[in-house]
Each structure stands twice: as C-alpha cells, then as structure tokens.
Structure 1
Amino acid sequence: MSLKSTTTTTPLTILVVDDEPDLVELISYNLEQQGHTVISAGNGVEALRLAKSRQPDLVVLDVMMPELSGIEVARRLRSQTETASLPIIMLTAKSDEAHELEGLGSGADDYITKPFSMQVLLARINAMARRTSGSGAGGRETLINLGEVSIDLEEHQVSVDGRPISLTITEFRLLATLFANEGKVMTRPALISSAIGPGVTVTERTIDVHVTALRKKIAPHSAMISTVRGVGYRADAPQRVEQDA
C-alpha cells in the first residue's frame, strides 16, 4: 500500500536497515512515493558501511538483527565523528519499556514498535526532518551561553569548556529549550512538545532517558540541569547551582 496524501518535507536520503526483505521493500516503496531516496542494508555491518560512505540524512534501524544488533549499530554510529549526529529511528518487535529505554539510551532519537502503519513511520520521519531543519535563527539570538556550555543554534553545534561535543537531534533541542528558559522549570510535556514535536506520542520517561544522556555529555557541568521532582527539569547558571549546593 502506498500513501499519497501524507504531508511531505524536503526530500531526504534515508538508510533503511532490517533483516526482513519484505519489510525493507515496503518501507522503501512508501518512502520513494514521498520523494525520498532510499538505500538499504540487511545487516548491521552493511549499515555501518553505508552510513559512512553514503552519509544519509536519517536512518530507520531495526533492533533485532543477527550478528550486530540495532542497539550496537546505533552506539557505533554515535561514536564516529561522521555519523555522531545522524538522526536514528529504531524499529522493534518488543514493546516493553525496558527495550524502549535501551534503544533510546543507545542514541536513537525515536522508537517505533512493530507492527506499525506506514502512516505512523512517515509521520515520525517528517517530524524528525522538521526538527533537524527547524532551528534556524528567524531573527532570534543564534548563540546561547550558560557558564562553560555554549549552543550555536544556527550551526547545530554545542561546546563544553571550549571543545565541541556530539548530541543527537533530540538532545540538542532539549538542551536548547532548557538553556533558552534558564531558571524556569520546564515540564516533561513541554519538553516533549519542543524536543520531540507535536503529534508524536512518547512517554515522559523517554525525556528522562534523553536528559540522563545529556547530563553525561555536558560533564563536568551536569549539575546545571536539575530535576524538579514530579514536574520536570530546570537549567541554571553555574552561580545559582553553587548557591543551591
């Protein structure tokens, strides 16, 4: 089945990775109907090779694959400079929270449980594309500095103590939202809306996983992001963190 009425974004080059040929064919057909270019891999080793050589805009990655799992593929993609910021949508046949958290913890930006409709997958891809391209300046300040952490909204770059770090798209948008609202408590639903996007259903626990990963990446300044129990998170300048300590 093809989808002819889905709202499309700028055409992307998408790497589809799954060891089920029929599913790869179905996903590829529907993505191509939306104007996207598709490259495919049937295993994790091939996926890593194609991600490096073809530099896709986004990866749709199955978790359960022989030899090299999608979890390990995601971790390796995140560890390599060329692919560290590559958006990843994971597919899995397991719907329990533990596997979702494992997938997100490995560096995935989004997570879809099989079986799923093509409409859902395309909506997630479109949302991811908007998040990737939606942080232009638009007349706003393009640099946010909080202590020794600096965010360049236009270049999608973050530096800690003067050195660049690699963040996923979701982590970048989370950090930008928290820093832009310095001193203000941001609820989990508000962070979901900002970092994940409207119309995409995720649990509040998903935000917790991303924040945990984000804190590790901005070390030794992790304390700048504090948890407000039962509500959400708040970013504070170093001076306030020291006062509250």
Structure 2
Amino acid sequence: MEGPTPHTVLAVGDEPDFLERLSHLLGSKGFRPVCRQAANALRPEDGVIHAGILDVFSTGGPEGLELCQDLRRRCPDTSLILASPFFNNRTWRQTAAASGADCFFNKAWPLELLVSDVRYALECHKPTLATGRILPAGAPKAVVADDDPEWRKLICLELELAGYLPYEADTGRRALLAIGRLRPDVAILDYLMPDFSGPECLEYIHKNPRMHRVPVIIMTDYKGLELEERCMSLGANDFVLKERGARVLLLRVLKSRTRRAHWPTDPLKAGPFYLDPQSRMLLADGHRLPDLSPGEFDLMSILLENNGKIVPWEDVERRLHGGVAAHGASATPSAKMTISRLKEKLGRKYEECVVTRALSRLMWKN
C-alpha cells in the first residue's frame, strides 16, 4: 500500500554545497526536494510546489527577489522562504517582505532549523482545538505567537471559546509563516520571542503586500509608553499588557474585528488626497506619501470619508480601536499618538491643507 505523496520543496541557489546538503536533509525528512540554479527554476514536470527556498543571490537567471515575486504570482498558495547571509540586517528583511516572501532564513543558521520551519509552514493550517467543539469552516482565524506554551494555549482556548480557529507559533519566524499561509483575521504577537521580536515581525508584516492588512495585537509583560508608541508606529492595531489577563486580550481581538469591518473597499478621494485601501497607498497631488500604519490608515479614511465635516470623538474611537468613548470625550493618548504620526507623514504642506479644508477640525484641535 502506497503512503501519502511527499510534499515537494523547490530549493534554488547558486551554491552547490548548500543545495546538496539541503536536498539530503529534506529527503531524509520525507520531503521531495527539487534543487536547481535560478535559470528555469520552475518546470512543468515539477507538479505542485508546496514550499520554496530561494537564495537571494541566485545567478544564472532572475535574482532571488525577482524569482520570489515570479513564483508568488505563479504559485500564490506556496510558502516561500528567502535565504541570505544578511537577514540579521533590517534593510534586507524589509526587502524580503516587499518581495512577498512569507519568511526569511539566515544561511549562517543550522539547516535543520530551515527544514523544521518548512514542515511547520506546511502543517500550520491545522488549528489548535482543545474543547472538541466543531467550528464552521468560515470561522475567523487567529495566529497566536508566544514562546511561553502555557500562556499561548490559554489564549488559544479563549479564542476557541469565542468562535475563533486558533493557530500556534512559538517563534517570530513561524508566526510570519503562519500569517503568510493563513491570512488570519488577527495575529497576536508576543513583544519578546527567541528569534525575532513582535515589533520586528510587525515591521515585516507591514511591508509585506500579502500580510499588511492583517490586524496585529502586541502583548507584553513590560510596561512603558515608549514600547506602546514603538509598536503603534510600526503598525500595531493594539498593545495589551499580559497582566491584564487573557479575557482583556480577547476583548481587544473582538474589537479589532469590529474595526476591520469598517475598512473602506473603494479608493477615497478628497482635496489633493487619494487613498487606496488595498495597498494603503496615500497620494497627495499625485505624489506618494510615506506608508501608513493601520491606525493612520483608519484615521485618514475617516478624514476623507467625512470631508468638510466634524467627526465626534466617540466615532473616531470606535473606528480606531473598536471601542466606545463617552459622549464629548477628548482624544485618548493612543489616538493622539496616531494623529501626531499621521500629521508628521503628511508634512507641513498637507497638514495645513487638511486643517484648512476642515476635514475634521475637531480632531486636529485635540
């Protein structure tokens, strides 16, 4: 009786020794390795490619980044990992994110780690269900990344009881692989993890065209306004202290889903501004402005949707954080941070344009 068909893993690079060792290790772990140099890397006889490992410096054809983009177009559901000796460098990680790769691997790390991540990427579609409940196929999905297994499982249990399909990750890299594979309704990341921190993962998610619309909540044991400001500036939807408990975190998750439901689907135009909801690209007089975080995107959407109107703060809070503010309340510290960052990205010229066009004078006064 034949066993299950092994998963096919495409490995592309220009270092024969690297490819040989990787091929041997993949084969020993039950995969079907297909190792090639970059030229004509993908061939019809390969069949379905379940995962790809691409050397950024592949020669003999497209560069690794271009090959990643090409494979992403041709194999949209394939998990792709970029390999390079330079991925401890922030700029390289951002480049990998922009190419659409699900994750990255530093070639100085043990190959066993890479193969382990490949296996995780191919199996992460299995949710962590502890209660035995049968959830509908269309249930919302949540990725929970934390190196503390007890806390991680507690969060997953709360999510499951609330009707979510929870998926576990114990490192930052695996969180990225799960987010790329699943495109969840929310991702919950620990601030500190063994390989890459929550903020580093957040930055990768924000730069990745496949992931940037996934709401991200950062959780941590550490207090401090600076930590929250850093995470929110990198694109976090929320920031939660673990000491407040799993139930509070669950409430923030539910609020993030409410907030996501309000996102516009069609481009918004007002005055000199054009905002594309799909890419979160903001243009002013035809010129692209700096990328917006989710909070900044929401705030700019409110401004453009209410061109010439004054928006009550309770409506702003509902959109920004999914919460409810008291009637007549002023801006919360988190909302003030979002306003400040948006004004900085607009620059003096367009900040004044927003004010004089009275998109929402009340917000700018607060």
How high is the TM-score relative to the length of structure 2? 0.51
Map 1:1-245 to 2 at 5 A.
11-135=139-263, 144-151=268-275, 159-160=282-283, 161=286, 167-183=292-308, 191-199=316-324, 204-215=332-343, 222-223=350-351, 224-226=353-355, 232-233=363-364
Pairwise CA distance, 1:67: 2.4
- 8 A Cα contact 1:16 1:61, kept in partner: yes
CA contact (8 A) 1:84 1:167 kept: no
Tell me the SS of whatever aligns to 1:90: strand
Counterparts in 2 of 1:200 and 1:54: CA distance versus 1, 3 Å = farther
Amino acid in the other structure paired with 2:338: H
- 2:159–2:250 contact (8 Å) kept in structure 1: yes
**Which string of whole-angstrom CA distances, capped at 9 and with x for unpartnered residues, describes residues 108-162 of structure 1?**
010101212232112111111111113579xxxx664223322467x79654128
Residues 181/16 of structure 1: CA separation in 2 closer, same or farther (3 Å cut): same
Task: Give the counterpart letter for 2:364 in structure 1.
Answer: Y
Shift of 1:189: 6.0
The one-letter code of the counterpart of 2:271 is G
1:66 match: secondary structure: coil
CA shift in 2, pair 1:152/1:81, >3 Å: closer
**For residues 128 and 49 of structure 1, do their structure 2 counterparts lie closer, same or farther at Cα, with a shift above 3 Å needed?**
same
Aligned counterparts of 1:221 and 1:205: Cα–Cα separation in 2: 25
Identity of aligned residues (%): 23
User: Distance in 1 between the 2:221 and 2:240 partners?
Assistant: 9
2:219 counterpart SS class: strand
- Per the TM alignment, residue 48 of structure 1 is displaced from its structure 2 partner at its CA by 1.2
Larger gyration radius, structure 1 or structure 2: 2
Runs of at least 5 residues in structure 2 that lack an aligned partner in the other structure: 1-129, 131-137
Aligned-pair distance for 1:21? Answer: 0.4
1:70 is matched by which residue type in structure 2?
Answer: G
Which is further off, 40-49 or 213-222? Answer: 213-222
Tell me if the contact between 1:48 and 1:77 (Cα under 8 Å) persists in the aligned partners: yes
Higher RCO structure, 1 or 2 (CA under 8 Å, sep 6+): 1
Say which is worse superposed, 174-183 or 69-78, in terms of deviation. 174-183
Query: Could you tell me how far apart the structure 1 residues matched to 2:206 and 2:159 are?
Result: 24
8 Å CA contact retained: 2:199, 2:231: yes
CA distance in 2, matches of 1:45, 1:179: 36
Shift of 1:32: 1.0
Q: Secondary structure of 2:193's match?
A: coil
Give the residue type in structure 2 aligned to 1:145: K
Q: What is the CA distance between 1:107 and its match in structure 2?
A: 1.1
C-alpha contact (below 8 Å) 1:151/1:158 kept by paired residues: yes
Secondary structure of 2:299's aligned partner: helix
Q: Is the 8 A contact 2:215 2:236 kept in 1?
A: yes
Structure 1 stretches of 5 or more lacking a match? Answer: 3-9, 235-245
The alpha-carbon distance between structure 1 residues 200 and 111, as it changes in their structure 2 partners (threshold 3 A), is: farther
Normalising by the residue count of structure 1, what TM-score does the alignment of the two structures yield?
Answer: 0.74
